A = this chain, B = another copy of it.
């Protein structure tokens, strides 16, 4: 335990927590707290928390927030800390509220096609649990093995299959929320439809812990998909050809359930790590999956293949074997870990463009990489126009770091110039605040600030994030 002078804010906090929470909920060891102080956005600043609390129930969360509201101490809520924008980063002397002990799956209801979970349930755990009931929770961020539903809700997480099935917000029916004053409220509903009052659920989703602390999530589910997907892959010599293929597939009215792109730098990294034998002279690899019932899946896959060929794919094939299909998708899954092998600092972008401008944006990213002398590897949810250019910087090289920062800003400039958004699915956190301000403009920012002030007048919920 760190010493905290009696009467200091920290001492008052600890006294309040001692009264309301079992002792194992409270962490004060600085070394332990350090691991709770930031998410995976290496480039975002963070402070040191005064206390880390790990409540196990809604009542415990309410007690924490009530004490913080009374004492005027900021509350930074975090799930698994897999965020990439600094949204869960501690502010100095805050209380970090970790949902790691709130991992109960409260209900899985086949008749209503919904599940009720505590916020600390891991995405993949929920997916596995509902699959046993013949149900499917679609949102599948790359962090699904580790990230929590609460974190997914906080950032309105996307993933691969949102190109066809939508993002987290599309699956949140109801929330239990502890408000900024410590009150417990339930917003939303258990019914399929409902329009009673303003959409506070939608407002909470994606608000990154700045409007309330989510203590329970009711999610809508779909029937489990039972057919094996068909996969189409195509290597393209130019980014323009790959972009053309994406546009052609969209314009033809095809609806792949995943539609991904990885660029040359990623192909090279996967080869270097796994000796995968991927063609390193290709500009990009496109991967599409269809999950229609057969034989419609075959027809859709063949149509996608036709459009890949028409766009000038060098080598496009349709996989008929699920094992082979999974192997092809491995190039996508392995891209990030392969890049990590380089042992460099990583800064992940998350711009989202109108689909038709995918090739233009990829070309601009190549140019930005060259102009700033920065290695940029790009994976993209191509069907959504959502790009994740990943900038690699040798540790300790300050000049390279400055160039990377400039490239990051240049990518944001380019995305805004092309009518895109600065964040498609990772959230604003700290890294995208400036970009967001430019994207929204003063009128919309004023509305957002008014909403924040209305729901958190003391500004104690994750202060400084999103709106700054």
Q: Which residues of B contact A195 (CB under 8 A)?
A: 155-156, 206, 421, 423-428
Interface pick from A9-17, A281-289, A400-408, A449-457 = A449-457
A113–B383 Cα distance when bound, in Å, is 12
A396 interfacial contact with B, CB 8 Å: no
A113–B419 Cα distance when bound, in Å, is 15
The size class of the interface chain A forms with chain B is: 35 or more
A436–B355 Cα distance when bound, in Å, is 40
A467–B194 Cα distance when bound, in Å, is 16
Give A201's nearest chain B residue, CB to CB.
Answer: B202
Report the minimum CB–CB distance from A113 to chain B (whole Å): 7
Interface pick from A262-270, A305-313, A328-336, A438-446 = A438-446
Name A46-90 residues within 8 Å CB distance of B.
none
Give A352's nearest chain B residue, CB to CB.
Answer: B191
A120 interfacial contact with B, CB 8 Å: no
A169–B188 Cα distance when bound, in Å, is 14
Report the minimum CB–CB distance from A351 to chain B (whole Å): 9
Give A155's nearest chain B residue, CB to CB.
Answer: B195
Return the contact of A185 from the options B419, B427, B444 (Cβ within 8 A): B444
Give A212's nearest chain B residue, CB to CB.
Answer: B447
A463–B255 Cα distance when bound, in Å, is 43
Q: Which residues of B contact A466 (CB under 8 A)?
A: 197-198
> Are B185 and A421 in contact, CB atoms less than 8 angstroms apart?
no
A410 interfacial contact with B, CB 8 Å: no
Q: Which residues of B contact A192 (CB under 8 A)?
A: 163, 352, 355, 383-386, 424
> Are B224 and A194 in contact, CB atoms less than 8 angstroms apart?
no
Specify which of A170, A184, A353, A447 lies most central, judged by the most chain B CB atoms within 10 Å of its CB.
A447
> Are A198 and B190 in contact, CB atoms less than 8 angstroms apart?
no
Q: Which residues of B contact A422 (CB under 8 A)?
A: 196
A112 interfacial contact with B, CB 8 Å: yes
Q: Which residues of B contact A386 (CB under 8 A)?
A: 191-193
A103 interfacial contact with B, CB 8 Å: no
9 A-B residue pairs with Cβ-Cβ distance under 8 Å, sorted by A, are: A111-B250, A169-B202, A190-B354, A193-B384, A195-B421, A196-B428, A197-B467, A199-B203, A292-B296
What residues of chain A have their CB less than 8 Å away from a CB belonging to chain B? Answer: 110-113, 134, 155-156, 158, 162-163, 166-167, 169-170, 179, 183-187, 189-200, 202-203, 205-207, 211, 222-224, 247, 250-251, 253-255, 292-293, 296, 299, 352-356, 381, 383-386, 419-428, 432, 435-436, 439-441, 443-445, 447-448, 450-455, 466-467
Given contacts A195-B423, A200-B448, 7 further A-B contacts (CB under 8 A): A110-B250, A112-B355, A134-B253, A189-B421, A197-B448, A224-B253, A454-B454
